[in-house]
C-alpha cells in the first residue's frame, strides 16, 4: 500500500501516474486518512494537468502554440490537490 501525506496547502506530491489497481492512503493535514484507488488519483492528476495546461495557454499535448512559435515547455504537474471526500468520483 502506498501512503501519501498532504502538505499544508492541500496538495500531495504525485510526479507520475500510479497503477490503476493500487490502493493509496492519503493522510490529510488535519490527521484524517482516506483510501483512494490508483485510478481515482490518476483522474485527479489528469484534471490538474488539464487545468495547468489551459492556464498556461498550452494545447492538449503540452505545447505552447501562441504567436506562431511552437515551444515545448515543462508540461507536467508534480502536485495534485486533494481533500477529504474526493476518493469517490462525483456523480
- Give tens-digit pLDDT for 44-80: 999 998 888 888 777 777 777 666 555 555 657 889 9
Q: Is residue 86 part of a domain?
A: no
First to last CA, the chain: 27
Q: Looking at the 3D structure of the chain, how many domains does it have? A: 1
Task: Provide the pLDDT confidence category of residue 4 given band limits of 50, 70 and 90.
Answer: very high
Whether the Cβ atoms of residue 13 and residue 45 lie closer than 8 Å to each other: no
Q: Is residue 89 part of a domain?
A: no
Residue for grid cell 515543462: 74
The pTM for the full model equals: 0.81
Q: Is residue 21 part of a domain?
A: yes
Q: Is residue 91 part of a domain?
A: no
Q: Which domain holds residue 16?
A: 2-81
Q: Supply the pLDDT for residue 10.
A: 94
Calculate mean pLDDT across residues 9-33: 94
**Tens of pLDDT, residues 26-50:** 999 999 999 999 999 999 999 998 8
Q: Is residue 62 part of a domain?
A: yes
Amino acid at each position: 500500500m502506498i501512503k501519501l501525506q498532504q502538505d499544508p496547502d492541500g496538495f500531495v506530491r504525485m510526479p507520475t501516474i500510479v497503477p490503476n489497481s493500487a490502493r493509496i492512503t492519503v493522510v490529510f493535514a488535519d490527521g484524517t486518512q482516506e483510501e483512494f484507488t490508483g485510478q481515482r488519483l490518476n483522474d485527479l492528476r489528469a484534471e490538474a494537468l488539464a487545468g495547468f495546461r489551459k492556464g498556461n495557454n498550452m494545447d492538449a499535448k503540452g505545447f505552447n502554440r501562441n504567436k506562431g512559435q511552437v515551444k515545448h515547455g515543462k508540461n507536467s504537474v508534480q502536485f495534485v490537490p486533494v481533500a477529504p471526500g474526493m476518493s469517490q468520483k462525483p456523480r
